[in-house]
């Protein structure tokens, strides 16, 4: 094992260049946010003395799009070089990277969100709730004179699609903002940044070795793509990711966690689902572990843990939605029929006749997701157990949870780059694996698909850049994601063919990857 901060000259150079790429990426993204309103940043109403702060120089669309493309490419290349360097034995202290990532998050928090206009939707729904309107039945067009509720550029005719806990956080931000879009959005960004930092702390504290702490720093805390989409973009996915990661941390840590830990893990998974429904997938890890123990090892006490897990999740989710009203799920059901332009399912949608065969697409996505789960649960690495030793409970729990989350991300008909934050968080809990490269390619492709993630009709984009919306997003990226998916399938089949008959993932598979 190479000591901390050491490695061959080539390894050190590659690692340092990788860190330089990450730093350059963050500089590009920070500059984009600092320049002020642009095609990447909607203007915020409210007193200019209130946070968040930025310049107002009306930057050219070519400049900001160029900055973001440079940031995405530099960030992806930097992460890739760090992955290779670590595989070759390079090590660097994790704590400085964690501190740097958290400082970058605070800097993003202080500036207006970039990329999409989702934060205006959050502010609108929060304002509705804070002023006595039902965000699950009210639309932005219904309150056009309200400076906050009427501010969204998109989804103006759509009630809230977010869970009750997310709505509560949005209502708090709107209460603090008191009619100011700027201040409301800033409070939302502060809460998001806290959730990001809590996730970083959990990942860091639950890592047992310095190498694993380095992994959590690279994959989450100073991952420029995660910082750009989740923190700078102010997307509330990070609010669901924090309890999701906490659920796995609560369930782990003992050889035989009792029903109290299972209950706590279930309640946290339920809280995540009450923010964004896919967060509930993480509960599949603990459920799988408890069910296997009860079935194969006749540990009937695990049945009690399984009941506590599902009971905790169901209680939190049911209470949250009961307080909001059953109609809070109406838009979630509507959203399940959506197909985003940048996924391979868009190609199927176009071939079948857009919107006419969504049932076929949803069924296909479920089948593909199940197949991917079966592959991922075999090829994802376990913790560093020696050959012949029984698989640790924590290792199985995290590996299966990651397989559930990643299968959803890769198979979903509707995908946006910030959704990949779920994948990066659960992958950070595992050892190094080739699946890291799959997710890196997936996030990079989706990032380049949304330049920016705003409706073309709402922004002044030069005609000679229209191909970003007409060619790259609906054609180039879907085919790219299909190629990435194919690469994962090929990789999984090769790994399976070399695995021993025990069905347990090969340790060599985890170690031979970068």
Mean pLDDT value across residues 225-238: 98
Q: Measured on CA atoms in the order 251, 253, 257, 260, is the torsion positive or negative?
A: negative
Q: Are residues 355 and 265 located together in one domain of the fold?
A: no
**Residue pair 436/402 in contact by the 8 Å Cβ criterion:** no
148: in domain:
no
Q: Are residues 498 and 355 in the same domain?
A: yes
- Among 142, 190, 128, smallest CA distance to 182 is for 190
Alpha-carbon distance 90 to 13, whole Å?
Answer: 9
The rounded distance, in Å, linking the Cα atoms of 382 and 385 is 7
Tell me, yes or no, whether 482 and 403 share the same domain.
yes
Band of residue 356 on the pLDDT scale cut at 50, 70, 90: low
**Claim to verify: residue 511 and residue 392 sit in the same structural domain:** yes
Instruction: Give the tokens for residue 477.
Output: 């990226």
Six-digit token string for 349: 């949608």
How far lies 297's CA from each of 289, 293, 303, 461, in Å?
Answer: 11, 5, 12, 62
Same domain, 391 and 510: yes
**What gap in Å lies between CA 96 and CA 90, rounded to an integer?**
16
Considering the domain architecture, whether residues 299 and 374 belong to the same structural domain is answered as no
For residue 467, the enclosing domain spans 340-514
Number of domain units in the chain: 2
SS3 116: strand
The answer to whether 119 and 188 are in contact (CB under 8 A) is yes
pLDDT value for 432:
94
Is the residue at 289 inside a domain?
A: yes
- Comparing CA positions, the residue from 201, 199, 211 lying closest to residue 240 is 199
Which range is least confidently modeled, 126-130, 131-135, 359-363?
359-363
Residue 461 lies in a domain: yes
Can you give the length of the chain in residues?
514
CA distances from 75 to 29, 375, 507 (A): 10, 28, 29
428 and 348 in one domain?
A: yes
Instruction: Kindly state whether residues 285 and 373 are assigned to the same domain.
Output: no
504: in domain: yes
Q: What is the pLDDT of residue 231?
A: 98
Q: In Å, how far are 340, 407, 410, 442 from 366, measured between CA atoms?
A: 16, 10, 11, 19
DSSP state of 41: B
pLDDT-based confidence at residue 514 (cuts at 50, 70, 90): very low
Using CA atoms, how far apart are residues 347 and 390, in angstroms rounded to an integer?
44
Residue 11 is predicted with a pLDDT of: 75
Question: Does 437 lie in the same domain as 411?
Answer: yes
Alpha-carbon gap, residue 253 to 393, rounded angstroms: 9
Is the pLDDT assigned to residue 180 strictly greater than 70? yes
SS3 38: strand
433 and 383: one domain? yes
Per residue in 251-282, pLDDT tens? 986 555 578 889 999 999 999 999 999 999 99
Q: What is the pLDDT of residue 419?
A: 98
Residue ending a domain, choose from 292, 324, 356: 324
Distance CA(273)–CA(269), nearest Å, equals 6
Question: In the listed set 324, 352, 369, which residue is the last one of a domain according to the structure?
Answer: 324
Asked which of 63-72, 183-192, 253-262 is least confident by mean pLDDT, the reply is: 253-262
pLDDT digits (tens, 9 = 90+) for 379-403: 998 765 544 455 577 788 999 999 9
In a domain, 161, yes or no: no
Half-sphere exposure of 79 (CA within 13 A, CB side): 29
162 lies in some domain: no
The contacts found for 9-17 with CB under 8 angstroms, 24 or more apart, are: 10/88, 11/85, 11/88, 11/89, 11/90, 12/85, 12/90, 14/81, 14/84, 14/85, 14/88, 14/90, 15/81, 15/82, 15/85, 15/86, 15/90, 15/92, 17/78, 17/81
The answer to whether residues 90 and 447 touch, using CB atoms and an 8 Å cutoff, is: no
Global confidence as pTM: 0.93
Q: What span, in angstroms and rounded, lies between the C-alpha atoms of 455 and 482?
A: 24
Rounded to 5 degrees, what are φ and ψ at 188?
Answer: -60, -40
Instruction: Using alpha carbons, select from 64, 55, 61, 52 the residue that is nearest to residue 34.
Output: 55
For residues 67 and 413, give the distance between their C-alpha atoms in angstroms, rounded to a whole number: 29
Tell me whether residue 247 is in a domain: yes
Mean pLDDT of the 307-313 span: 95
* Tokens describing residue 379: 């090829």
Indicate whether 355 and 502 sit together in one domain.
yes
For the segment 470-505, what is each residue's pLDDT rounded down to a tens digit?
A: 999 999 999 999 999 999 999 888 876 554 333 333
Domain limit, last residue, from 281, 296, 324: 324
User: Does the pLDDT at position 506 exceed 90?
Assistant: no
Q: What is the pLDDT of residue 295?
A: 79
Domain assignment of residue 270, yes or no? yes
418 and 287 share a domain?
Answer: no
Structure tokens at 371: 């197949």
């Amino acid at each position: 094992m190479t000591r901390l901060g050491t490695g061959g000259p080539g390894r050190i150079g590659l690692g340092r260049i990788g860190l330089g790429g990450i730093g350059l990426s963050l500089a590009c993204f920070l500059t984009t946010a600092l320049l002020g309103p642009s095609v990447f940043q909607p203007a915020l109403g409210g007193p200019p003395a209130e946070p968040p702060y930025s310049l107002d120089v009306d930057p050219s669309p070519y400049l900001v799009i160029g900055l973001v493309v440079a940031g995405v490419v530099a960030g992806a290349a930097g992460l890739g070089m760090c992955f290779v360097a670590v595989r070759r034995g390079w090590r660097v202290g994790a704590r400085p990277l964690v501190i740097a990532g958290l400082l970058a998050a605070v800097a993003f928090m202080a500036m207006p969100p970039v990329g999409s206009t989702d934060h205006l939707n959050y502010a609108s729904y929060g304002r509705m709730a804070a002023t006595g309107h039902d965000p699950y039945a009210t639309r932005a067009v219904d309150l056009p004179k309200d400076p906050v509720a009427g501010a969204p550029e998109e989804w103006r005719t759509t009630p809230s699609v977010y869970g009750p806990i997310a709505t509560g956080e949005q209502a708090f931000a709107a209460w603090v903002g008191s009619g100011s879009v700027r201040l409301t959005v800033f409070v939302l960004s502060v809460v998001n940044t806290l959730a990001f930092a809590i996730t970083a702390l959990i990942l860091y504290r639950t890592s047992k070795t310095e190498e694993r702490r380095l992994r959590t720093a690279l994959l989450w805390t100073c991952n420029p793509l995660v910082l750009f989409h989740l923190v700078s973009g102010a997307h509330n996915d990070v609010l669901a990711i924090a309890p999701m990661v906490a659920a796995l941390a609560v369930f782990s840590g003992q050889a035989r966690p009792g029903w109290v830990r299972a209950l706590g893990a279930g309640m946290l998974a339920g809280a995540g689902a009450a923010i964004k429904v896919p967060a509930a997938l993480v509960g599949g890890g603990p459920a799988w572990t408890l069910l296997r123990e009860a079935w194969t090892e006749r540990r009937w006490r695990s049945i009690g843990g399984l009941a506590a897990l599902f009971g905790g999740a169901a209680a939190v989710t049911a209470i949250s939605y009961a307080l909001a009203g059953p109609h809070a799920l109406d838009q979630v059901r509507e959203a399940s029929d959506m197909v985003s332009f940048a996924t391979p399912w868009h190609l199927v949608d176009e071939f079948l006749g857009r919107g006419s065969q969504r049932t076929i697409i949803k069924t296909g996505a479920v089948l593909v997701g199940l197949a991917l789960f079966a592959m991922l649960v075999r090829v994802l690495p376990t913790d560093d157990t020696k050959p012949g030793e029984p698989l640790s409970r924590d290792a199985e729990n995290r590996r299966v949870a990651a397989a559930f989350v990643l299968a959803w991300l890769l198979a979903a008909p509707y995908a946006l780059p910030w959704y990949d934050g779920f994948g990066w968080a659960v992958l950070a809990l595992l050892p190094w694996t080739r699946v890291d490269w799959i997710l890196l390619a997936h996030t990079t492709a989706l990032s380049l698909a949304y330049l920016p993630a705003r409706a073309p009709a709402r922004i002044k984009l030069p005609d000679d850049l229209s191909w970003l919306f007409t060619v790259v997003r609906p054609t180039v990226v879907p085919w790219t994601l299909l190629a990435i998916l194919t690469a994962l399938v090929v990789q999984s089949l090769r790994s399976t063919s070399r695995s021993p008959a025990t069905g347990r993932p090969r340790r060599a598979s985890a170690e031979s990857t970068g």
